[in-house]
Amino acid sequence: MRRLLASAAIAALSAPMNAVALEWTSGETSIRFDTTLSLGAAWRVQDRDRSLIGVANGGSAYSLNADDGNLNYGRGLISFVPKATHDLEVKYRGRHGLFVRTSYFWDFVQADRSSADRTRLTDAAVDRTGRAFSLLDAYAFTRLDLGGLPLDLRIGQQVLSWGESTFIPNGINIISPFDVGKLRQAGAELKEAFLPVPMISASLGLTPNLRVEGFWQVRHRNTELEPLGTPFSTNDVLSPGAQTAFLAFGLPPSRDTLPFSPGTAIARDPDRDAKHANQFGVAARLLVPALNDTEFGVYFINYNSRAPILSARTGSWTNPLTSQVQLVGSSRYFAEYPNDIQLYGGSFNTSLPGGISLQGEIAYRTGQPLQIDDSEMLFSALSSLPGTAGAAFSRSQLGPTGQNREISGFRRHDVITAQATATKVFSQVLGADQLSVVGEVGFTQVRDMPSKGVLRYEGPGANTSGNPFFTSARLQPATQGDGFADGFSWGYRLSARLDYSNAIGPIAVSPSASFAHDVSGTTPLPLGTFVDGRMAATVGVSFNYLSRYTLDLSYTRFWGAGDKNLLSDRDFVAAVGRFSF
């Protein structure tokens, strides 16, 4: 089936398409209707790495909670997606109007529940990555004269971007949540990864060089993780479709898996979403002509967490002989989205001698929730067991927890993030019309981060506790030595693109390459900006005919960070054809 779809993809990418754009004007009213049709395919080109697979599933990882997607899709076709995106803009007198963007797709691989090698995809997965019709932006806009000052106003479902970061997330640009799966879907564009939210936004020009902006978000919307069991999913506990968290540290029935029987799991309770109210922001931007037209910005945003935190509720027991079964069976975990995070930020954007564009930002968050290591939560939850077992589990960093109590999975900290980006365009390089190079460096600093001996925070691949006591007491199979979050982490991103106009007759050709390197430190979840030593690179080439037909070919490789890089065995190639009109 996958081989047949691969052949169909190649044939369809080369098929001709003909259509006419719609533009209509009558008096002071104009209508523009733009369409982009695409057909994308992606192939996984790397075998599974046993270190990323749970022991009970044939690997060596002490967890069954991160490998469903890896086990479901081996080498071969993992996505085959025809998609259409439509933009409708209606303007009256050039000042008032309406903008609507819709998108719909059908992934012939992931819409087929049986396409997975191991576990059938859930309804949540199919509805998000298999097939969907999405109303993206849908807002009204107007430009008014407010006492002689220009006021731009937008009301409705929209994406709002603040700050100056280009590649590195979790800076000032946190207003609109992400659809993480869209970042790797064949044929998807970056604008589709930002999820519009209902809000009112405004921009008021106080002087020719000074303007103030603001927004009020009407409803909260969460960042959407990649659904359970899809090709790039790495979270089998909090992702859409996930219903259980497996204990026993991934060990099989043949192993002595104290304190749990193999296959022991706790069920998921309904998510605790953030409140809709009290999400707003204000900003001011000042252009300074005397400083080479440098623009400075200051920001304040009050918002609720877009990313989930894992928390739990302990169960209860009445019979000491079956206390473990009763306690685990009545315990629950849930995703929660903490409220009221405050962000204070500043930014600049300028030009340097030699044609270099330089921009940067710094953000200071107060009350940022950070995920506590889940092994410490687990052992604390078991501390109410009778006898010596409960006493042993009480040595968790969270201490003992009674029956029918909630265990908050986070602590709040002040967090500083900063990024700087430089862009340079070179003319006549390697026979190309131009070479564009972009570099960005950033860091994350957690204020008052406790030492790992006091409280460990979660990082990817940290599957057991870092306390050797639990290993010596045969409560876990091994002691986690690394992978926990650090107080400081940093990395950089590089991107380069050559543009050859009329390289093949009227066809423009643009080879490109990008590189991401998390140099040092692991950022606590749910931020997860950097993972110590993680790297990724993409090389590709784009063919463009008349600015309407494009064909993009690319290869992406993930490596570094060992078993803490949960995508290190999922290199892939992609081919995407687009037709815009």
pLDDT per residue over 139-198, tens digit each? 999 999 998 999 999 999 999 999 999 999 999 999 999 999 888 888 777 778 899 999
Q: Say what the pLDDT of residue 1 is.
A: 41
* Candidate from 96-105, 384-393, 492-501 with smallest mean pLDDT: 384-393
Peptide bond into 477 cis (omega under 30): no
Q: How confident is the model at residue 415 (pLDDT cuts 50, 70, 90)?
A: very high
- pLDDT tens digits for range 46-87: 999 999 999 999 999 999 999 999 999 999 999 999 999 999
- pLDDT tens digits for range 350-380: 999 999 999 999 999 999 999 999 999 999 9
| Alpha carbon separation from 1 to 6, 115, 380, 447 (Å, rounded) | 9, 9, 48, 52
Overall pTM > 0.75: yes
Q: How confident is the model at residue 388 (pLDDT cuts 50, 70, 90)?
A: confident
Tokens of residue 133, six digits:
């019709």
Q: How confident is the model at residue 322 (pLDDT cuts 50, 70, 90)?
A: confident
Per cent of the chain over pLDDT 70 is 94
Q: Strand 131-146 vs strand 149-158: parallel, antiparallel, or unpaired?
A: antiparallel
**Is residue 226 pLDDT above 50, yes or no?**
yes
Rg, C-alpha atoms of the chain: 26
**Is residue 263 pLDDT above 80, yes or no?**
no
3-state secondary structure of 130: helix
Tokens 């209509």 sit on residue: 24
Q: Say what the pLDDT of residue 256 is.
A: 53
* Candidate from 79-88, 387-396, 504-513 with smallest mean pLDDT: 387-396
Per the model's pLDDT, the better-predicted residue between 206 and 12 turns out to be: 206
Rounded Cα distance, 578 and 581, in Å: 10
Strands (E), 117-246: 131-146, 149-158, 197-207, 210-217, 244-246
Q: Say what the pLDDT of residue 454 is.
A: 97
Q: Say what the pLDDT of residue 18 is.
A: 37
- pLDDT tens digits for range 433-473: 999 999 999 999 999 999 999 999 999 999 999 999 999 98
Fill in the amino acid letter for 402: G
**Is residue 480 pLDDT above 90, yes or no?**
yes
Q: Residue 117: which of 179, 57, 50, 65 has the closest Cα?
A: 57
Rounded Cα distance, 231 and 253, in Å: 27
- pLDDT tens digits for range 96-125: 999 999 999 999 999 998 888 988 999 999
The widest CA-to-CA distance across the chain, in whole angstroms, is 84
Strands (E), 461-571: 488-504, 507-520, 535-545, 549-559
Mean model confidence pLDDT for the chain:
92
**Is residue 8 pLDDT above 60, yes or no?**
no
